[in-house]
Amino acid sequence: MRNKQARIPLYILTSLLFGLKTYIVYRFMFNIELDNSMQEFILFINPFVSAFLIFAISVWFSKPSRQMKYLRYTAFIMSFVVFANLVFYRQFTDFITIPQLFMGSNMADLGSSILTLIKPYDILLFADAALIWYLSKKHENAISVNYLKRGKVFALAMSLLLLAGNFFLAEMERPQLFTRAFDREYLVKNIGIFNYHVYDLVVHSKAESQRVFADGNELPEIEQYIDENVKLSDEKSELFGAAKGKNVIFVNAESVQNFVIGNEVNGEEITPFLNSLAEDEDTYYFDNFYEQTGQGKTSDSEFLVENSLYPLSRGAVFFTHGGNEYHAMPEILKEEGYFSSVLHANNKSFWNRDGMYQSLMIDHFYSEDAYEINEENSVGWGLKDKPFFEQSIKYLESMEQPFYSKLITLTNHFPFQLDEEDKSIEPYDSNSNTLNNYFPAVRYADEALEEFFAHLKESGVYENSIIVIMGDHIGISANHNKAMSMYLDKEEITPVDQVELQKVPLFIHIPGHGKGEVNSTLGGQIDLKPTILSLLGIENESDLYFGNDLFANERKGYIALRNGDFVSDDYISTAGLCYDIETGELLDSDEETDENTAQTANSACNAIQDKVDLELGYSDDLIYGDLFRFINFDNK
């Protein structure tokens, strides 16, 4: 180094400031679980490692002005990456992926939802970048350094050495971190948000190449697994054909979670209509039913229901693979004479629905253009549920029967805005406005569903239909655990609680059936396709799918969640740890747990985890490789 005035090169100062800021965000703004001191240490060092690796590149610029320019702009860009992930995390408790960057057309529809996620103090995330900008602009001559070759090599060597050390510690703490990377939080916790984004880019590029090189030779292995592990019995359920020839009216109930069913807030029932529906003799209410969505949320729930395939771990299938060939439920029902439609009073391009619905062979999409929407009958994301259902009736009445129609609601959507005249119950009182406002919004959705049933009965469509109501995904993320623990009267939300909060209600109402019940069968959204087809008396043995008929006697006995966690009849596995589903206790071989019992349980958990990983991987292969294009179902 020739310039003796600069005691600490600016790239090192920038790395230190940026690393410290990022660690503070990790530790106090992201809800990252730390189980031991090693995880704490790795979380502390990884932002400094990433910062040094990126900012040390500046030493390779020979001109001081270019050094300064690189540091200025890179500091702001990296600060924006942290800010964008923080805002995204506040809503989804997750981190941005490359595919989501291609979903920018959704941003225009988010509106006030994004504004509620931005906090005034977020401006401080750019304080260090502003300082670096000032120093590099005003004191360039004093702080710039002309680096000799050995100084450049030293910076590069140190960068790589620190990175290797970080990765070594991460692999020690979390073996197979990169080969079983379903959980993005584990990646960020162990290698940092910037290395995670690089890893995500590599994975995305690899996934995009899968379709190019796929030739159908991957199918026999997948078909064999499904035949041996999913299609467990040729025996039909007792309800096979119970709704043969009937219309199917499917309601995607936005953000309705199961914990509200049968519960109260401020002494008032939250969902009086759904509570009564659960006790109706014509209704099967599934109270042990899980959402399995990924980053695609509502669109992922649709994908699960129509295909009985898992959504992708990154991005939304509707966006990334909307042009694939599928063998979805609308296509199968079309062969049985059914007309299919979706009714959703939103922009038809949101989640690329207009494109994806063509791939799913849906006959017609009634989007916002089909509805009368004005300031009086809309709030938040658009048309309120009550006028939505009321205006939808005329379309259902005009459809040629039998039909399969899916209605997607909007009002009970984050940030759960509701006009005062639509609030039938008072908000909850906690430190979370999101949870507080959730209850009146759910109550409104419940009232809208009650009115919808009344409209169906008046229209004459009701008697010849089955009505399915399913919560599409959770509405309250882990960011509101303190308020949620207060509402549920718990000291804290445990990892087991967090998984169980992913339960959403499922109602299958068959008018005149008379044999309904509360059904505690373990199930998930991936089970809807085989269940509905079975109720309609449609055999579908040649298809490729990963769900089971919910009414079948023989089932897999576990539900895979998109992040690699699972729930079985006996265990819950989350973040690589196995818990007893009855007691919620961690199964290990410590002094409080019988060693043989723990070993047996962990062996059983590992066996299920292997199947879960296989299923998620095979489902990904079918999507990334667009493998359905190689199958002729007409000849199967």
Q: Is 394 exposed, middle or buried (0-12, 13-18, 19+ CB in 10 A)?
A: exposed
What local confidence, expressed as pLDDT, does residue 4 receive?
45
Rounded to whole angstroms, what are the CA distances from 534 to 81, 234, 237, 496, 609?
A: 47, 12, 8, 32, 28
Bridge partners, residue 382, by sequence: 379
Token output for 525? 């959204």
Instruction: Classify residue 604: in a domain, yes or no.
Output: no
The pTM assigned to this predicted structure is: 0.80
What pLDDT, on a 0 to 100 scale, did the predictor assign at position 5? 46
Q: Which regions of the chain are under pLDDT 70?
A: 1-8, 92, 99-113, 139-147, 176, 179-183, 589-598, 635-636
What's the pLDDT tens digit per position in 379-422? 988 899 999 999 999 999 999 999 999 999 999 998 898 999 99
CB 97 within 8 A of CB 315: yes
Neighbours of 620 (CB within 10 A): 18
User: In degrees to the nearest 10, what's the CA dihedral of 461, 466, 472, 475?
Assistant: 70
How many CB atoms sit inside 10 A of residue 601's CB?
A: 20
The residues, any chain, with a CB within 8 Å of residue 388's CB and separated by 6 or more, are 343, 345, 371, 407, 409, 410, 448
Pair 202, 256 in one domain: no
Q: Where does 1-111 have alpha helices with state H?
A: 10-28, 37-55, 64-92, 98-101, 107-110
* Alpha-carbon gap, residue 202 to 225, rounded angstroms: 28
Q: At CA 193, angle to CA 188 and CA 197, rounded to 5?
A: 105
252 lies in some domain: yes
How far apart are alpha carbons 6 and 146 in whole angstroms?
10
Q: How many residues does the chain have?
A: 636
d(CA 177, CA 197): 15
- Tell me the CB-side half-sphere exposure of residue 534, using CA atoms within 13 A: 20
3-state secondary structure of 339: strand
Structure-block tokens of residue 167: 């990765």
Which residues are paired to 403 by β-bridges? 339
Per-residue pLDDT at 213: 87
| pLDDT of amino acid 1 | 42
Determine which helix (DSSP H) or strand (DSSP E) holds 251, and give its type and residue range.
strand 247-253
Instruction: Specify if 405 maps to a domain.
Output: yes
Question: How many domains does the chain fold into?
Answer: 2
What are 401-412's pLDDT values in tens digits? 999 999 999 999
- 623 in any annotated domain: no
Q: Rounded distance, CA 619 to CA 64, Å?
A: 51
pLDDT at 88: 82
Surface-to-core class of residue 20, CB atoms within 10 Å of its CB (0-12 exposed, 13-18 middle, 19+ buried): middle
Look up residue 180 and give its amino acid: R
For residue 460, the surrounding DSSP H or E stretch is none
Inside any domain, residue 636:
no
Residues 288 and 412 in one domain: yes
> 266 and 193 in one domain?
no
- Are 260 and 339 contained in the same domain? yes
What does 548-599 look like in DSSP terms, one character per residue? Answer: --TT-SS--SEEE-TTS-EEESSEEEETTEEEETTT--B---STTS-HHHHH
Residue 617: strand, helix, or coil = helix
The answer to whether residues 202 and 267 belong to one domain is: no
Q: Give the count of beta carbons closer than 10 Å to the beta carbon of residue 118.
A: 13
Measured CA to CA, the distance from residue 138 to residue 87 in angstroms comes to: 32
Q: Is 164 among the domain residues?
A: yes
**Do 512 and 443 fall into the same domain?**
yes
Do 30 and 130 belong together in one domain?
A: yes
> Cα separation of 176 and 627, whole Å?
27
Report which of 98, 113, 474, 477 is spatially closest to residue 315, judged by C-alpha positions: 98
Residues 258 and 150 in one domain: no
pLDDT of residue 2: 43
- Is 320 designated active site? no
User: What's the burial of 67, exposed, middle or buried (CB within 10 Å: 0-12/13-18/19+)?
Assistant: buried
> Are the C-beta atoms of 271 and 260 separated by less than 8 Å?
yes
Among residues 22, 97, 298, 574, the one annotated as catalytic is 298
What is the residue type of 149?
K
| Cβ atoms of 558 and 178 closer than 8 Å | no
In a domain, 56, yes or no: yes
Domain boundary residue among 544, 566, 594?
544
CA–CA separation, 482 vs 501, rounded Å? 14
CB 347 within 8 A of CB 107: no
Q: Cβ distance 388 to 413 under 8 Å?
A: no
C-alpha to C-alpha distance for 276 and 299, rounded to whole angstroms: 29
Domain CATH for 332:
3.40.720.10
Residue 96, domain member (yes or no): yes
Full domain range(s) for residue 173: 10-210
**Predicted local distance difference test score (pLDDT) of residue 146:** 66
Q: Within this chain, do residues 157 and 246 fall inside the same structural domain, yes or no?
A: no
For residue 290, give every residue at least 6 positions away whose Cβ sits within 8 Å of its Cβ, in sequence order, or none.
Answer: 502, 503, 504, 523, 524, 525, 559, 561, 567
- Nearest 5°: phi and psi at 566? -150, 160
Residue 23 C-alpha from the chain's centroid: 25
Shared-domain flag, residues 335 and 275: yes
Whether 252 and 448 have beta carbons less than 8 Å apart is answered as no
Phi, psi (degrees; rounded to nearest 5) at 591: -65, -25
- Which of 494, 513, 544 is a domain's end point? 544
**365 in the same domain as 314:** yes
At which residue do the structure tokens 């090169």 appear?
9
* Integer Cα distance of 38 and 18 in angstroms: 22
Instruction: Please classify residue 203 by burial: count the beta carbons closer than 10 Å to its beta carbon, then call 0-12 exposed, 13-18 middle and 19+ buried.
Output: middle
* 264 in the same domain as 177: no
